[in-house]
Structure 1
Amino acid sequence: MCIWYDPSYWKTTRIGATDCKGTAAGCGHQSCGIDVAIDGVIMWGSILSEWASLLLRWLHVVAAIAWIGSSFYFIALDLSLKPKSDLPDGVQGEAWQVHGGGFYRIMKYLVAPTQMPNELTWFKWEAYTTWLSGFALMVVVYYLDADLFLVDKSILDLTPTQAGLFSFCSLALAWLLYEAACRTGLAQRELPFAIGGYLFLVALTYAFTHVLSGRGAFNQIAAIIGTIMVANVFAVIIPNQKKIVASLIAGQAPDPKLGKTSKERSVHNNYLTLPVVVLMISNHYPLLYATRFNWIIVAIVLALGPVIRHFFNEGHAGRKSPWWVWGVAAAGAIAILFLSAAGPREAKTGALSAQPTLANVEEIVMSRCSMCHAAEPVWAGIVTAPKGILLDAPEHILRNIRLIGRVAAWSNAMPPGNITEMTSEERAILAAYISEQDR
């Protein structure tokens, strides 16, 4: 079987091998044998990419669980420490804990003990592995398939290379700006720094949603936050701890500023954790990233995450729980709900040029979606229908009509990157048809 891709790149025609005579009309190859070989390369490339994505995602999630878990634990431990008169010199406080049938007594030194212990556990590879696996996953999913997941030509006509370079450079530049702000002493003024950092991230989000696809923009801001967090561990916290250890080994008193700076960066990471988790899983929820006010949704998430962390931090410190936090969180969640219902970025206005009938819906889906969502996909690199969803027959369309609504009518998540150029008129027809079915 030869496959010929129309120059308009979304219409595909299959021609039988018996109809293909070397350079027959429609076949761009010299022989069907070459065509089959190329199809095999494409197939295996797609399969290997899928498995790489799975394994990297698995590693990324496991590493992130370990990192976030240890981070939350030590923040809670720090806040729960109680000073007592019978503690050794230089000890800030202690905490008693019970877990797994055992009791633990934990003490924290203000700077460091007078003598270096024989064994010392470092917490760093959880963070490093999270970033390394996350960046590798970003390369496999977003850079190698940039035309699908990073570029949306209806937003900005970028080549995959341009989009990848923009993503990587903005990742590095955002971290450099954050690091410069911290090293100038601005971070010591906690509230102004927090407000400035929040506005900085919101501005980046707005810019990304006007350059990249919605999914790509959400992933990009998540990657920037994750990079800042890991860089805090790699470039500040661990080096400072190593300097403290070196001072102890040399019999010198460690510089108290080293521990203070590390603690400052650790607190930054603590407040950034919840937003970055939401943004990382957002690619499963098109009503978040592929609707008109997606950047405002990110702004709300960036505000709610630290507020919710504040509730738990206050509780760990033994202070009165700020229950007002949940009222703010509920208000933010309701706002996100209504913003996500605003529809895709380019909404159709005025009367429809075609009636929202099943025949018209079928024509739209067949011309924009079925080259991938078919029993035998004809899109290069697609071996099986994504998520096993078939849209190549009326009964398949009706079975998945609500899913079609979420990804292609009430949002513009599909086709990915709008690579088949579905119009706002077509999305409006889909939405109108679904609304009529619900009456």
Structure 2
Amino acid sequence: MNDFAIFWDWLSFGVRWLHVITGIAWIGSSFYFVALDLGLRQRPGLPAGAHGEEWQVHGGGFYHIQKYLVAPAEMPEHLTWFKWESYATWMSGFALLAIVYYAGADLYLIDPNVLDVSAPVAILISLASLGLGWLIYDLLCKSPLGNNDTLLMLVLYAIVVFMAWGYTQLFTGRAAFLHLGAFTATIMSANVFLVIIPNQKIVVADLIAGRKPDPKYGKIAKTRSLHNNYLTLPVLFLMLSNHYPLAFGTQFNWVIASLVFMIGVLIRHYFNTMHARKGNPTWTWLAAGILFIVIMWLSTVPKILTGEPKVSAANGAFIASTHFPAVRDTVLGRCAMCHAAEPGWEGIRQAPKGVILETDAAIAEHAREIYLQAGRSHAMPPGNVTGVTPEERQLLATWFEEARK
């Protein structure tokens, strides 16, 4: 059993590393080509069919790049395709979803206080939501709405907000954020696999056959690529969010996720505008900063807004606090089965992150983490598997806040 647990832990680590590597490769090529496309310049004397060109300097040399809006007159001898970065990122991400959240559904995916379902049902809901997201997005893009970029993006944002809320009604907060990221990443990768690459293959086939390619295929591919460009930064935030319980483990987590998409769009708008040499919209950074401050406030919003009792005030150190005996009982009863030198929870071989909470000194040492992950948020225990009550969470919050005064 221990050997299998070690193998499974390393498998998770290896797949996570692969996911990060392939994600960097995909994001890098995506950002580069959008920036290149926006920076193209037209001039007299360009070859027939060329839409624009750009000179770049890197690695001790100069690059002269030309773009053909539809296709060159003849098929080039060497053609590099950019697609495997996308496919490998999605496949490794889905593998990680299965290893962590499907195999550990009772711990990481399901919160009985949110939706009490079996692991197979939760997994089916997860899979269905990812597939349904792509179908809805694709139908909207192909509908008359797809001809109006602004209106389409507003409708798509409304869907994202709904999904952010919906996932928090189905899964743990951690899993909800992860699924919103997977929902978006599935759309992005499907854009490459089902639209962008097939359209490019049609253009290549026409060139080989000596036919003039239809420009609509390039236009559609460019639009989907731009969508991917604007969705990338929110997906990165959601990928990293499982390390920050104040993002996913609070009552307004779905609002936080929704605002993250706005921040991502603002930041991409800044860089895309700069790359297109259409100005320097520094206001986007101010707007993004304000939204981030709003997110910080929402993560620790005054509990009067949530209907929870206010925290009283007092002085005292953590161990000397009058609340500490009750806090110790709560931690030992709700947390120490995993955070122990020899964890008693099945499948956990060693204390998560090496945090052991079996002594008064250890509990006091990790007071801040206990406060953030189990007091002010519901991040711990995962899925509330040990049944921490609202009163116990309030106790942990009160203990920390009073002792810090």
Structure-2 separation of matches of 1:133 and 1:93: 36
Residue type at the aligned position of 2:165: Y
Could you tell me how far apart the structure 1 residues matched to 2:187 and 2:311 are? 48
- The residue type equivalent to 2:251 in the other structure is R
Corresponding residue number in structure 2 for 1:301: 260
In the TM superposition, what is the alpha-carbon distance from 1:161 to its structure 2 partner? 1.5
Q: Distance in 2 between matches of 1:86 and 1:275?
A: 41
| 1:378 correspondence with 2:344 | yes
Whether the aligned pair in 1 keeps the contact of 2:311 and 2:398 (CA below 8 Å) is no
Q: Please tell me whether residue 264 in structure 1 is matched to residue 264 in structure 2.
A: no
Q: Which of 345, 361, 365 in structure 2 is aligned with 1:399? A: 365
Matches within 5 A, 1:190-201: 190-201=149-160
Structure 2 residue 392 is matched with structure 1 residue 426: yes
- Rounded Cα–Cα distance in structure 2 between residues aligned with 1:134 and 1:386: 22
**Which SS does the other structure have where 2:66 is aligned?**
strand
1:62 aligned partner? 21
Decide whether the 8 Å contact of 1:343 with 1:410 is kept in 2: no
SS of the residue corresponding to residue 398 of structure 1 reads: helix
Which ranges in structure 1 are unaligned for 5 or more consecutive residues? 1-40
For residue 106 of structure 1, report the CA deviation from its aligned partner. 0.2
Larger radius of gyration: 1
Residue 281 of structure 1 is aligned with which of 232, 236, 240? 240
- Aligned residue for 2:251, secondary structure, equals coil
Amino acid at match of 1:349: P
Output the TM-score relative to the length of structure 1: 0.88
Structure 2 residue identity aligned to 1:213 = T
What's the offset of the Cα at 1:48?
2.0
CA distance in structure 2 between the aligned counterparts of 1:302 and 1:85, rounded to whole angstroms: 41
The one-letter amino acid of 1:419's match is V
Name the Cα RMSD after superposition: 1.6
Structure 1 residue 348 displacement after superposition: 4.4
Instruction: List per-residue Cα deviations over 1:410-431 (Å, max 9, x = no partner).
Output: 1010011000000010111111
> Which amino acid letter does the alignment assign opposite residue 312 of structure 1?
F
- Does the CA contact (< 8 Å) of 1:90 and 1:109 recur in 2? yes
| Aligned counterparts of 1:185 and 1:238: Cα–Cα separation in 2 | 23
Letter in 2 for 1:216: A
Q: TM-score, normalised by structure 2?
A: 0.95
The match for 1:136 is 95
The 1-side partners of 2:297 and 2:233 are apart by 21
CA–CA separation in structure 1 for the residues paired with 2:264 and 2:200: 28
Deviations, residues 152-179 of structure 1 (Å, cap 9, x unaligned): 1111212212111111111111111111
The answer for the alignment partner of 1:310 in structure 2 is 269
Partner of 1:387: 353
Specify the code of the residue in structure 2 equivalent to 1:157.
D
Deviation at 1:183, TM superposition (A): 1.8
Aligned partner letter, 2:297:
F
How much has 1:269 moved relative to structure 2? Answer: 0.3
Going from structure 1 to structure 2, the CA distance change for 1:328 and 1:66 (only over 3 Å counts) comes to: same
Structure-2 residue corresponding to 1:101:
60
Q: Percent identity?
A: 49
Q: Does 1:236 align with 2:184?
A: no
| Alignment CA distance shift 1:81-1:234 (3 Å) | same
- Does 2:141 correspond to 1:175? no
1:372–1:385 CA contact under 8 A, matched in 2 = yes
* CA shift for structure 1 position 347: 6.7
Structure 2 SS opposite 1:93:
strand
Q: 2:183 aligns with which of 224, 242, 245?
A: 224
SS in 1 for 2:55: strand
Q: Which residue of 2 aligns with 1:368?
A: 334
**Measured at CA, do residues 291 and 351 of structure 1 come closer, stay the same or move farther in structure 2, by a change above 3 Å?**
closer
| Residue in structure 1 matched with residue 317 of structure 2 by the alignment | none
1:159 pairs with one of 118, 127, 130 = 118
The CA distance in 2 between the partners of 1:321 and 1:382, in whole Å, is 51
1:116 to 54, 72, 75: 75
8 Å contact kept, 1:348–1:425 = no
* Cα distance in 2 between the residues matched to 1:201 and 1:330: 21
Q: Aligned-pair distance for 1:185?
A: 3.6
Distance 1:393 1:340 in 2: 29
